[in-house]
A and B are shown apart, each in its own frame.
Chain A
Amino acid sequence: MSKFPKFLMAASVATLTAAPAMAEKLGLGRTATDSEIAAWNLDVFPDGSNLPAGKGDVWTGEEVFAEACAVCHGEFAEGAGNWPKLAGGADTLDHEDPLKTVGSYWPYLSTTFDYVRRSMPFGAAGTLSDDDTYAIVAYILYSNDLVDDDFVLSKETFLDVELPNAEGFIVDDRAETEYGSFTNRCMSDCKPGTVEVITTVVFPGDPNSGFDATPISQAVMGTAAATPAEAEVTEAAAEAPAAEEAAPAMELDAELVAKGEKVFKKCKACHKVGDKAKNGTGPILNGVYGREAGTVDGFKYSKPMLTAAEGGLVWDETELSGYLANPRKYMKGTKMSFAGLKKDKDIAAILEFLKSHSQ
Chain B
Amino acid sequence: MSTETKGTGTSRRGFLKGAAATGAALGAAGAARAEGDPLITEVQEWASGLGEGVDATPYGMPIEFEGDVVRRNVEWLTADTISSINFTPIHALDGTITPQGCAFERHHSGAITLKKEDYRLMINGLVDTPLVFTYDDLERFPRAQQTFFLECAANTGMEWAGSQLNGAQYTHGMIHNMEYTGVTLRTLLEEAGLDAAGDLKDKWVYVEGADASSNGRSIPMEKALDDCMVAFKANGEALRMEHGYPVRLVVPGWEGNMWVKWLRRIEVMDKPVESREETSKYTDTLEDGTSRKWTWAMDAKSVVTSPSPQMPIKHGKGPLVITGLAWSGRGAITAVDVSLDGGVTWQEARLAEPGKPMALTRFYLDINWDGSEMFLQSRAMDDTGYVQPTKAQLREVRGLNSIYHNNCIQTWHVNANGEANNVEVS
List of B residues within 8 angstroms of A5 by Cβ:
294
A215 at the interface (CB under 8 A from B): yes
Q: From residue 75 to 112 of chain B, which have CB atoms closer than 8 A to chain A?
A: 78-80, 82-83, 100-101, 108-110
Q: Would you call A190 and B294 a contact (CB within 8 A)?
A: no
B19 at the interface (CB under 8 A from A): no
Q: Would you call B109 and A32 a contact (CB within 8 A)?
A: no
Q: Would you call A195 and B163 a contact (CB within 8 A)?
A: no
List of A residues within 8 angstroms of B66 by Cβ:
215
CB contact between A4 and one of B167, B220, B413 (< 8 Å): that residue: B220
- Chain B residue nearest to A42 in the complex (CB): B214
Q: From residue 142 to 188 of chain A, which have CB atoms closer than 8 A to chain B?
A: 168-174, 177-179, 181-188
A94-B288, A111-B274, A187-B346 known; A31-B80 Cβ under 8 A: no
Categorize the interface residue count of chain A: 35 or more
A29-B132, A98-B285 known; A208-B64 Cβ under 8 A: no
A93 at the interface (CB under 8 A from B): yes
A28-B141, A93-B291 known; A198-B267 Cβ under 8 A: no
Q: Would you call B267 and A125 a contact (CB within 8 A)?
A: no
* Separation of A37 and B271 alpha carbons in the complex (Å): 18
Determine how close the nearest CB of chain B comes to the CB of A200; give it in whole angstroms.
5
Determine how close the nearest CB of chain A comes to the CB of B247; give it in whole angstroms.
14
Q: Would you call B212 and A16 a contact (CB within 8 A)?
A: no
Q: Would you call A206 and B285 a contact (CB within 8 A)?
A: no
A16-B146, A37-B124 known; A7-B166 Cβ under 8 A: no
Determine how close the nearest CB of chain B comes to the CB of A278; give it in whole angstroms.
9
Q: Would you call A207 and B165 a contact (CB within 8 A)?
A: yes
* Separation of A212 and B142 alpha carbons in the complex (Å): 46
List of B residues within 8 angstroms of A13 by Cβ:
253, 330-331, 357-358, 384
Listed stretches A131-139, A221-229, A283-291; interface member? A221-229
* Separation of A46 and B213 alpha carbons in the complex (Å): 20
Q: Would you call A14 and B122 a contact (CB within 8 A)?
A: no
> Total A-B residue pairs with C-beta atoms closer than 8 Å?
322
Interface size, chain B (Cβ < 8 Å): 131
Q: From residue 41 to 68 of chain A, which have CB atoms closer than 8 A to chain B?
A: 41, 43-46
Q: Would you call B64 and A217 a contact (CB within 8 A)?
A: yes
Choose among B129, B253, B279 the residue with the greatest number of A CB atoms under 10 Å from its CB.
B279
B401 at the interface (CB under 8 A from A): yes
List of A residues within 8 angstroms of B295 by Cβ:
172, 174
List of A residues within 8 angstroms of B59 by Cβ:
222
Q: Would you call A125 and B144 a contact (CB within 8 A)?
A: no
- Chain B residue nearest to A167 in the complex (CB): B290
- Chain B residue nearest to A17 in the complex (CB): B146
Q: Would you call A106 and B280 a contact (CB within 8 A)?
A: yes
- Chain B residue nearest to A221 in the complex (CB): B61
Q: Would you call B227 and A182 a contact (CB within 8 A)?
A: no
- Chain A residue nearest to B128 in the complex (CB): A25
* Separation of A215 and B65 alpha carbons in the complex (Å): 6
Q: Would you call A201 and B163 a contact (CB within 8 A)?
A: yes
* Separation of A88 and B221 alpha carbons in the complex (Å): 36
Q: Would you call A213 and B133 a contact (CB within 8 A)?
A: no
Determine how close the nearest CB of chain B comes to the CB of A286; give it in whole angstroms.
17
Determine how close the nearest CB of chain A comes to the CB of B298; give it in whole angstroms.
11
Binary contact track B386-418/A, C-beta < 8 Å → 1, others 0: 111100011001001100000000000100000
CB contact between B122 and one of A36, A45, A195 (< 8 Å): that residue: A36
List of B residues within 8 angstroms of A118 by Cβ:
212, 214, 216
Q: From residue 79 to 114 of chain A, which have CB atoms closer than 8 A to chain B?
A: 81-83, 93-94, 96-98, 100, 102, 105-108, 110-111, 114
Listed stretches B5-13, B184-192, B362-370; interface member? B184-192
* Separation of A204 and B419 alpha carbons in the complex (Å): 12
Apart from A172-B294, A202-B165: 17 A-B pairs, beta carbons within 8 A: A12-B227, A13-B253, A15-B227, A20-B144, A22-B190, A37-B130, A40-B124, A43-B216, A82-B80, A93-B289, A178-B394, A198-B424, A199-B423, A201-B309, A207-B167, A225-B101, A226-B241
Q: Which residues of B contact A (CB under 8 A)?
A: 57, 59, 61-62, 64-68, 70, 72, 74, 78-80, 82-83, 100-101, 108-110, 122-125, 129-134, 137, 140-146, 162-167, 170, 184, 186-187, 190-191, 193, 202, 206, 208, 212-214, 216, 220, 222-223, 226-227, 229, 240-242, 252-253, 264-265, 267, 271, 273-276, 279-280, 283, 285, 287-297, 299, 309-310, 330-332, 337, 341-347, 357-358, 375, 379, 381, 384-389, 393-394, 397, 400-401, 413, 421-426
Could you list 24 A-B pairs, sorted by A, with CB under 8 Å? A8-B220, A14-B332, A14-B358, A15-B227, A30-B132, A31-B130, A32-B124, A41-B125, A108-B274, A114-B273, A115-B276, A118-B214, A122-B109, A168-B290, A172-B295, A177-B397, A178-B394, A178-B397, A185-B387, A191-B426, A201-B166, A201-B423, A207-B72, A225-B242
